[in-house]
């Protein structure tokens, strides 16, 4: 069972919670690592931040000084539970910055819904330890992300 916890600490109106959950749940079947663990209890947290919180977090944890649209904090320790055959996984946290996502939507002339699909699915892959730190890893991540986007872009 997948439990998705959403907390808004941004003091801003944001994209509908049920759509955030729907994007996550519809993305998971395309991630082979999820298919291998779908019989486990899985927690995913989503925290909505304002731009200052997102920038401060980005500086503190990534040493990058800009406002991101999203940040991911995978819980690497949780994957150790797989090795120990435990039946519970806390995958980590996806931080969304709604105001920044809205700006990206306007700049790219893409619907806000599609921006959320793109950024949430990308962040979700990071929770499963996908990365784009090498060309090989980026290619692998992009293939899965493209599959998710192709299947979700117009079905949510």
At residue 154, what are phi and psi to the nearest 5 degrees?
-120, 10
Residue 56 pLDDT exceeds 60: yes
Q: Domains of the chain: which residue ranges?
A: 2-152
Question: pTM for the complete prediction?
Answer: 0.89
- pLDDT tens for 73-132 read 998 766 665 555 667 788 999 999 999 999 999 999 999 999 999 999 999 999 998 999
Q: Identify the pLDDT of residue 5.
A: 95
Tokens representing 87?
């039946």
pLDDT digits (tens, 9 = 90+) for 11-35: 776 668 888 999 999 999 999 888 7
**Cβ-based neighbour number of residue 8 at 10 Å:** 16
Alpha helices in 2-134 (DSSP H): 17-27, 32-37, 51-62, 76-83, 98-108, 112-127
The tokens describing 7, both together, are 């907390």
The pLDDT of residue 79 = 62
CATH of 2-152, one of 3.10.180.10, 3.40.390.30, 3.10.620.30, 3.40.50.740: 3.40.390.30
């Amino acid at each position: 069972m997948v439990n998705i916890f959403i907390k808004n600490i941004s003091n801003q109106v944001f994209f509908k919670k049920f759509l955030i959950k729907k994007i996550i749940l519809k993305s998971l079947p395309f991630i082979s690592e999820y298919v291998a663990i779908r019989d486990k209890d899985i927690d995913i947290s989503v925290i909505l931040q304002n731009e200052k919180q997102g920038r401060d977090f980005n500086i503190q944890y990534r040493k990058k000084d800009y406002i991101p649209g999203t940040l991911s904090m995978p819980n690497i320790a949780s994957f150790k539970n797989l090795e120990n055959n435990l039946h519970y996984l806390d995958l980590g946290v996806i931080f969304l910055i709604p105001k920044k996502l809205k700006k990206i939507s306007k700049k790219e002339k893409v619907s806000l819904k599609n921006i959320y699909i793109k950024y949430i699915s990308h962040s979700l892959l990071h929770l499963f330890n996908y990365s784009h730190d090498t060309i090989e890893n980026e290619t692998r991540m992009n293939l899965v992300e493209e599959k998710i986007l192709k299947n979700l872009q117009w079905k949510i």
